[in-house]
Amino acid sequence: MKITTIGLGYIGFSTAVLFAKQGHEVVGVDVNKHIVERLSRGTVHLEEPGLQELYREVLAVGEFSVSQKPCTSDAFIIAVPTPNKDDTYKSCDLSYVVAAVKSVIPHLEKGNLLIIESTIAPRTMEDVVQPMIQAAGFTVGVDVYLAHCPERVLPGNIAYELVHNPRIIGGVTPACTEKVKRLYATVVQGALISATASEAELSKLMENTFRDVNIALANELVKIGGDLQIDALKVIEMANNHPRVNLHAPGPGVGGHCLAVDPYFVAAAVPNLSPLIQTARAINTSMPDYVVALTEKLMRDAPTKKIAVFGLTYKGNIDDTRESPAMEIVSLLEAQGYDVAKYDSHVAGGISTMEEACAGSSLILVLTDHAEFIDIAKGVTAKMALPRLLDTKNSVKTTAADVLYMDFGNVHLYTQTREIASI
C-alpha cells in the first residue's frame, strides 16, 4: 500500500518509517524544507534511539521518499502539531490539521483511507474533518474511510511502543474502523481497539489528563510539606506502600507536547464541567514560579549571582524542549538578574561541560532527569563558589561529600517556606 504521512515530527516520522519497514511505499511530507532536505540526505532530524538505523534500512530498499507536498496514495496519515490557542481556556488550534486535510483533498480517490494521528479536541473528526471530506464530494465510510488513531508512546522508546502498545482505532463509521484496523495490523503487534472517532479523541486526552491531575496532586503535596516543614518525598514513599495508592512524582512543572497541552482541550470543550482539570493545570503551571521562589531564598546570601542549571528538556534523555518548565525557569531567573549557566548535552547552544557551568556558581539547579546527572563527580563541583544543589527531579544519587544536597523533601530546612508556599 502507498502511504503519505504528513508531518514528520517525533510521531509522524517514526510512524512513517515503521510502515516503510513493513514493506509499504511511504512518502513523508513536511512543509519545513530544512527537514525535507536533511532527510533527503539520509540524516534523521530527531534524537530518538534506533530511528537513524531504521531510516537507513528503509532508504536502502527504496521504500521511503520525502517531499514538501502530498501525492496520490492509498492512505494518508496526518500527524501535524495541535498547539493551544491563545484564548481563555487554551483550546485546541486545529489550523495545521485543517491545512493538512485541505492539502490532501485534491489527491483523494475512492477507497482511500484518511487517518488523523494528531491529538485533537473532542468531536473534531465528526464536526470539522468529516464535513470537509463530504464537501469535496465523498461519502465517509463508503468512498473515503476516516479515522482518528492517537499515538501512545514514550519519547526515547517510540519505535518499540508504536509497534507493541495497544492502539485505538476510532472510525467515523464502523466500516472506517475496520478498514483502518487492517492497515495498522500490518505494523502494530499490540491490541487494536475498535472505537468511535469521538471516543478515541477523548480517550487520548484523558490518558494524559489523568497523569497531569495526579502530578498536580504530588506538586501540591510538595507545597504543603514545605509549609508544614514535613518531608513530602518521604510522605510519598510511605503512602505508596499502601496497596491501592500510587502517588506520582513531583517536579518543576509539566512539559512536552501531551501533558502540558492536552488537558486544556478537554477543559475548553466543557469549561463549566471541568474544574478539577483546570485546577490541576493551574497547580502544575505554577511550579516554575515555585522553584524560582525557592531559588531566590537560597541565593539571598550567596557569594555570587551565578546558577548552574542542569537540564533544559521537559524530560530526561531526549532533546525535546517543547513546553519545558526548565526553559521557563531559566527565563524567570534571567529576568531576575541571575547569571544562569545552562548545561544540557541533548540541546545545542548551552555551556559545553558541567564543570564550566558550575565554576563560580552558588547553586546547581537540576531541572531534568538526564542519566548523566544521576552521579555528579567531585570534579564537576570543585570550583563552585558555594557547593549546593537543588534537585527538583529527585534523580541525583551521588555528589561530592562537600556538596549540600537539597530536594523537594528537605529544601524547607534551608528556606523560609511560609513566605513562598502560597505561590
Alpha carbons within 13 A on the beta-carbon side of 305: 7
For residue 258, indicate whether it is catalytic. yes
Is 12 within 8 Å of 118 (Cβ atoms)?
no
- Number of residues written out for the chain: 423
Name the nearest CA neighbour of 69 among 36, 94, 24. Answer: 36
- 3-class SS at 4? strand
> Nine-digit cell at 261?
497541552
* Residue 144 bridge partners (DSSP): 140
Catalytic pick from 90, 204, 306, 342? 204
Catalytic pick from 90, 258, 306, 393? 258
Report how far residue 240's alpha carbon sits from residue 23's, in angstroms, rounded to the nearest whole number. Answer: 46
Residue pointed to by grid coordinates 521504500 = 63
Is 74 within 8 Å of 111 (Cβ atoms)?
yes
Is 358 within 8 Å of 388 (Cβ atoms)?
no
Q: In what order do the strands lie in the sheet with 64-67?
A: 64-67, 25-29, 2-6, 75-78, 113-116, 145-148, 167-171, 192-196
**Distances from the Cα of 17 to the Cα of 50, 55, 60, 151, angstroms:** 11, 6, 12, 15
Report how far residue 1's alpha carbon sits from residue 26's, in angstroms, rounded to the nearest whole number. Answer: 8
Element containing residue 233 per DSSP (H, E): helix 232-239
Report how far residue 67's alpha carbon sits from residue 75's, in angstroms, rounded to the nearest whole number. Answer: 16
> Nine-digit cell at 107?
489527491
Report how far residue 20's alpha carbon sits from residue 177's, in angstroms, rounded to the nearest whole number. Answer: 22
Name the nearest CA neighbour of 196 among 142, 148, 131, 132. Answer: 148
First to last CA, the chain: 55
Alpha carbons within 13 A on the beta-carbon side of 251: 25
Q: What is the DSSP string of 85-134?
A: -SSTT--B--HHHHHHHHHHGGG--TT-EEEE-S---TTHIIIIIHHHHH
Report how far residue 324's alpha carbon sits from residue 255's, in angstroms, rounded to the nearest whole number. Answer: 5
For 160, residues 6+ apart whose C-beta sits below 8 A from its C-beta are none
Q: Which residues are catalytic?
A: 204, 258
